[in-house]
Amino acid sequence: MYNKRVIDYFSNPRNMGEISSADAVAEGGNPVCGDVVKLYLKIKEDKIVDIKFKAFGCGACIASTSALTEMVKGKKISEALKISNEDIAKYLGGLPVQKMTCSNFSTDVLRKTLVGRA
């Protein structure tokens, strides 16, 4: 069962959409279920100044990716790279254990997006 905060982030995703003039874009998926996340980032010097996402996925995937975008906006790339799926789950007030893998791949996509920029 999802808590109220997860349901809110799933029902009203923050930072959903795309950035046409993004400095970095990456896409990745969960090979187990086929869900997909795409991230768009605006980067100034070593800071993430804007981030948006598109996702085709379950509630945990969308809520986690939405939370991730809030967590990294305004952060230095080096700080953003330290965020784990456990941090996302904590930010959301907890995720069901069987849904923790759903929050894994948004952090993987973020790392893929930021490769070589830290």
Q: Does residue 7 touch ligand FES according to CB under 6 A? A: no
From 11, 17, 18, 33, active-site residue: 33
From 48, 51, 68, 102, active-site residue: 102
Angle, vertex CA 93, rays to CA 91 and CA 97, nearest 5:
105
How many whole angstroms separate alpha carbon 42 and alpha carbon 12? Answer: 22
Q: Is 102 a catalytic residue?
A: yes
């795309």: which residue's tokens? 18
Q: Does residue 6 touch ligand FES according to CB under 6 A? A: no
| Stretch of 2-10, 12-20, 27-35, 82-90 contacting ligand FES, by CB under 6 A | 27-35
Q: Which of 72, 77, 102, 110 binds ligand FES (CB under 6 A)?
A: 102
Query: What DSSP element (H or E) covers 52?
Result: strand 47-56
Query: What DSSP element (H or E) covers 4?
Result: helix 4-11
Region 50-69 residues binding ligand FES, contact defined as CB under 6 A: 57-58, 60-61
Q: Binding residues for ligand FES, how many (CB under 6 A)?
A: 8
Q: Is 58 a catalytic residue?
A: no
Task: Give me the DSSP letters along 75-111.
Answer: -BHHHHTT--HHHHHHHTT---GGGHHHHHHHHHHHH
Q: Which residues are catalytic?
A: 33, 102
Q: Point out which residues bind ligand FES (CB under 6 A).
A: 30, 33, 35, 57-58, 60-61, 102
